[in-house]
Amino acid sequence: MNCHDIKQNMYNYCDGLVSPDLRSTMAAHLNECESCRNNYQLTLIEKEALSDAGDIPLLSEAFTARIMGSLISADSVSSMPQPLVMSKSSSPYFKRTSWYSGLAVIAAVIALCLYLPNLKNISNNINVADNSSKQQQLELQSNAVKNNDYGTLAKDEDTIKLSQVSPPQNAGSGQSKLPSITLESESRSVQVDKDLTYSPSVLSTPFSSEAMKRSTSLDVGRSIRIESQVNETAQVTNTAALSFSPQNIPTRFKLMKLDTASENEAVYNYASQDGKENFQLHVAPYHEKMMAIGPTSNITFQDSPPSLTRDIQVGDQKITLTVSGNIPTEELIRLVNTIQFK
């Protein structure tokens, strides 16, 4: 072993990270080589200087008290942990995606404007296909397709039909109000937005429950195509649900049931895939403008059963989010702190 090899291993040697064999070899070399010995001593002093905390002054006794005082000062409301960051303007998510969202909305509006002439002639014609992967496909066909049968949802024999297409209206000031589409079935009645001014991703929201993973494409031309992948176990007990989807839910949980039967409350029931854990998210009262959630005003915790309630402000209205279930307390807290709605 030459001086170069010794030098290469010197830091690990001084940190005690070399094998016993290498240590013996290096020790023998250091006994004989003055240059490497100087290197060794400098390396040791470096380590000592880096490790020694003797020169670091002690913090004053009042340090902790000063911090706690600053947290519990008159400004404590603003310095409290602010778990729910759902404001569009302040959320980094929205900052990142605002361009894309804006472009999507513009693209959707342009597409619909191009489509308007054909939309007036849309027939009441929907085909619903259910394949083995539980993918439902709704296709609103134009008059060009001469098939007038209403489609049937094979899985639950639920017939879905297009019940209403409102013609475009002149909203004044030279602007045309876009048409609205309403879909109806035995268990669901969904209005595909009142003026179709949203992006395609929003277009599909009213039809499918938030239990569904949606993918939507809007074909410019003679057909509007709405696709939704349905969670096999999800149930929707709502009619005309316009619910928002909770985000940041741990991936092992699946939405099992969404209950918005009460106009003033939405209940999201989640369960883990192994069925051992479950929790409920209550949103009361349900608020359509959930995205504009304001700051947290109150937090309460109940140990048995574990339940965490957080009051949030939406405009002038107070909304209470409650998460309860048989999940670890820490996860319960993290959940209610990080949950967002989209």
Contacting positions for another protein (CB under 8 A) = 4, 7-8, 11, 34-36, 38-39, 41-43, 45-53, 55-57, 59-60, 63-64, 66-68, 70-72, 79-83, 299, 301, 308, 329-331, 333-334, 337-338
User: Smallest gap, in angstroms, from Cβ of residue 341 to another protein?
Assistant: 16
Helix (H/G/I), strand (E/B), else coil: 1: coil
- Give the span between the Cα atoms of 294 and 319, in whole angstroms: 10
User: Smallest gap, in angstroms, from Cβ of residue 318 to another protein?
Assistant: 18
Q: Which of 42, 144 has the CB closer to another protein? A: 42
Q: Which tokens belong to 261?
A: 């039967």
Contact 337, 81 (CB under 8 A): yes
Q: Which of 5, 227 has the CB closer to another protein? A: 5
User: Smallest gap, in angstroms, from Cβ of residue 98 to another protein?
Assistant: 22
Q: Which of 45, 144 has the CB closer to another protein? A: 45
Contact 282, 294 (CB under 8 A): no
User: Smallest gap, in angstroms, from Cβ of residue 113 to another protein?
Assistant: 42
- Give the span between the Cα atoms of 207 and 182, in whole angstroms: 9
Q: Which of 262, 326 has the CB closer to another protein? A: 326
Q: Which of 12, 197 has the CB closer to another protein? A: 12
User: Smallest gap, in angstroms, from Cβ of residue 337 to another protein?
Assistant: 4
β strands within the chain, DSSP E: 126-130, 135-140, 152-153, 158-166, 169-170, 176-177, 180-185, 189-192, 213-217, 224-229, 235-236, 246-247, 253-259, 266-272, 278-284, 293-302, 307-314, 317-325, 340-341
Q: Which of 273, 298 has the CB closer to another protein? A: 298
User: Smallest gap, in angstroms, from Cβ of residue 300 to another protein?
Assistant: 9
**Torsion 226-231-233-236 (CA) sign:** negative
